[in-house]
Structure 1
């Protein structure tokens, strides 16, 4: 699932207007529209907030070892350097804000 899909699903499930949903995210309606249309990438905190609002959960069955093996296998080349950096930034954010993440 792409970030735009997470944001779009959260917005649609909310039943709110884009203006009202954007306010819930502390973003403007034009920025929400950019996230949904892929004209901008939502920041990690927006993605996590949308995942929490939708009840999306990461699979509880994936171990740290399995995640590491997948990253090693699928994202090992230089072409994936930006993806690895993004994952690292997501981990940094989660580690620093774990008290704000809703666990299901």
Structure 2
């Protein structure tokens, strides 16, 4: 890959990763307990009613998985850069695992027509 293409790819990957980390950081700084973190990872805050529940972390909870997606795209782009490929591949694998585990959990624990807390 040419040097200009590598630099451009690195800049785009860094921007996407920074935005993803900002979304994830904003969500995690608002969690006050492990119970809220469990609700976040189990998709309990995905509806409007759940995000408005007492003690909920609000609208930024839905931004958590957007941040994970942006970080995942950034790490996949970083995997194409020779110097960062190993670390980026490991990070992408961990993020894919997080998304897969949380999706399996969400499918196994359906809350169709369940009342919010």
TM-score using structure 2 length: 0.35
Structure number with greater Rg is 2
* Higher relative contact order (Cα pairs below 8 Å, separated by 6+ residues): 2
